[in-house]
Structure 1
Amino acid sequence: MIHFKSITRIGLLAGAALLAACAQQPAQTMNQAAPTAEQLQAYVWDLRTAHDGAGQATQAWQLKGRKPLRLQFNARQLSVQQLCNIMNAGYRIDGTQLQVQRPMSTMRACAEDGLMQLEHRVGQQLPSARSAQLAQGGGAPVLTLGFADGSRWELAGTPTPQTRYGSAPERVFWEVAPDRVACSHGVVKDAQCLRVREIRYADNGVKQGAGPWELFYGQIEGWQHQDGVRNVLRLDRYRVKNPPADASSLAYVLDMVVESEQVKK
């Protein structure tokens, strides 16, 4: 004979278990949807967590002390960054279905333990991608990629400069002198500024000439000056909408270091 109190207690326990299961489920799985190509291209995607085919969390795709691998989508290609080399692969998105071609990579060798092996595994894993789902809420968007073996990656999105500035960039090349020089920079005492000049190249890559040296008071996003090193940088220049009164209307973001040379004093 089953007493009413026992039935009530069983029901309460079952309800508690259901609530606990829901609490353990990642929030982003509640509102996942198919990503559009525009949404994929509006962010760079950094690996946050990974799970193997059995659903267990794994660190197999990350190296301790290094930045996580990053994916960036453009209209035609998927780029893998923050490993040893940069890999590029064609991709196709159709609803939640994702297809990735075998990546092509630069051939630089890296001595760091495990880095080349990780890069090789990433290159093998990407063509097995089968699905992509996007979750958006109050925080950063989360992109979940599913693979043929049942494993998955969860990647957090950060807006690209083009998304942040709301316009396409202008590509420029700058030579940056090896040493900073004293400059007058508002209320900043003993300010030191970069000396830069614009380099012009023909379509075939042949250097055509250089402009005059000028003082640069701002910062170049994604690049840090090192004293005594001369650089030629390929930059994306953005127009800043409604900049503060004491700020520039232009923003510069590093695309690539073209040349780097240690200069003896």
Structure 2
Amino acid sequence: MKFRWTWCLPLIATVTLAACGTTGGGASKPGPSGPAGDANSLTAYHWKLQQAFNPAGADDQTWFLDSTKAPIELEFIEQRAVVKNLCNVMSAGYSVEGQRLNVQRPMSTLRACADNQLMMLEQKVARILPTTKQWNVQLPASAAEQPRLTIQFIDGTRWQLQGSPTPQTKYGGKPERMFLEVGPERKPCSAGAGRHQCLQVREIRYGDNGVKTYTGQWENFYSEIEGYKHQPGISNTLRIDRYKLQNVPADASSYAYVLDMVIGSAVEKPSK
């Protein structure tokens, strides 16, 4: 599935200022007590905005909507900074020079958005991203802590984001890419010591030209797919990252399945 991209406007030209300043004031939430992270730690985690401060150092809630909306999420993937949980997925090239973080003008998918507040937040993010000035990652000292990313912008605005491991960090190694079609309803199945409701799936394969070349048989899926929430009555075609697990119990799956993208959906009429 290909996305169309367009330049987000209005935007500010890429800023590449040296990280010579210090972060501003503001009452930060308690952070991790471990060592500072290097540039690789940026790509090792999903970063969710936890707290924001305005140029004067005061807490700034304008970067957050109501409690039903997920906070801004930032990922660093293949030299691109990707922003999620807005109307559209936003993407911008980036580079790291020591503690200086240079972010280019972002591009965005073109999904219509009926939520005016969310659209205004998206435009605000698009304006500030190219003014990124410096970054710092503080790693956890124990399993009870989570890493923290601090980003400061040229006007003194500061974000603090909390990290959770990416699947590659969590499971190690590179995943196998595969496609699964998930049927509209779960069905009873036997898994281990009890009865469960299993997803119904079949494997789909595509050629390099995007044409479907193979459709497998429907079967019970005894695992779950991280990041996928099944809605009864709707079938979905999913792009999946499958990770090989090590040292798993004999009755457990040898793989972890992580949703990469929903590439197609259809509402199924109930059978009579």
Q: TM-score, normalised by structure 2?
A: 0.84
The 8 Å contact of residues 109 and 116 in structure 1, kept in 2 or not, is answered as: no
Quick one: distance in 2 between partners of 1:31 and 1:212?
49
Counterpart for residue 191 of structure 2: 185
Larger CA deviation: 204-213 vs 148-157: 204-213
Quick one: distance in 1 between partners of 2:134 and 2:28?
19
Aligned pair partner of 1:94 in 92, 97, 102: 97
Q: Which has the higher helix share?
A: 1
Which runs of 5 or more residues in structure 1 are unaligned? 1-23
**Does residue 91 of structure 2 align to residue 85 of structure 1?**
no
Q: TM-score, normalised by structure 1?
A: 0.86
Shift of 1:113: 3.9
Counterpart for residue 253 of structure 2: 248
What are the within-5 Å matches in structure 2 for residues 1-265 of structure 1?
28=31, 33=36, 35-64=37-66, 65-138=68-141, 139-189=145-195, 191-265=196-270
Shift of 1:48: 0.5
The 8 Å contact of residues 138 and 148 in structure 2, kept in 1 or not, is answered as: yes
Flag the structure with more relative contact order, 1 or 2, with Cα contacts below 8 A and sequence separation at least 6: 2
Quick one: distance in 2 between partners of 1:229 and 1:83?
24
Number of residue pairs matched? 240
Larger CA deviation: 130-139 vs 45-54: 130-139
- Deviation per CA, 1:26-70: give whole Å up to 9, x if none: 65498774x433111110100000000000000111111211111
Quick one: distance in 1 between partners of 2:32 and 2:57?
14
The 8 Å contact of residues 33 and 140 in structure 2, kept in 1 or not, is answered as: no
- Percent identity at matched positions? 50
Shift of 1:170: 0.7
Structure with higher Rg: it is 1
Distance 1:46 1:147, change over 3 A: same
Distance 1:187 1:201, change over 3 A: same
Quick one: distance in 2 between partners of 1:129 and 1:103?
12
Quick one: distance in 2 between partners of 1:160 and 1:247?
22
- Deviation per CA, 1:189-241: give whole Å up to 9, x if none: 3x221111111111121111212222101100001111111110001000111
Which runs of 5 or more residues in structure 2 are unaligned? 1-26
4+ runs of 1 displaced by more than 3 Å? 24-33
Q: Helix, strand or coil: the match of 1:89?
A: strand
Cα RMSD after superposing both structures:
1.8
Distance 1:130 1:233, change over 3 A: same
Quick one: distance in 1 between partners of 2:214 and 2:131?
47
Quick one: distance in 2 between partners of 1:59 and 1:168?
38
The 8 Å contact of residues 198 and 221 in structure 2, kept in 1 or not, is answered as: yes
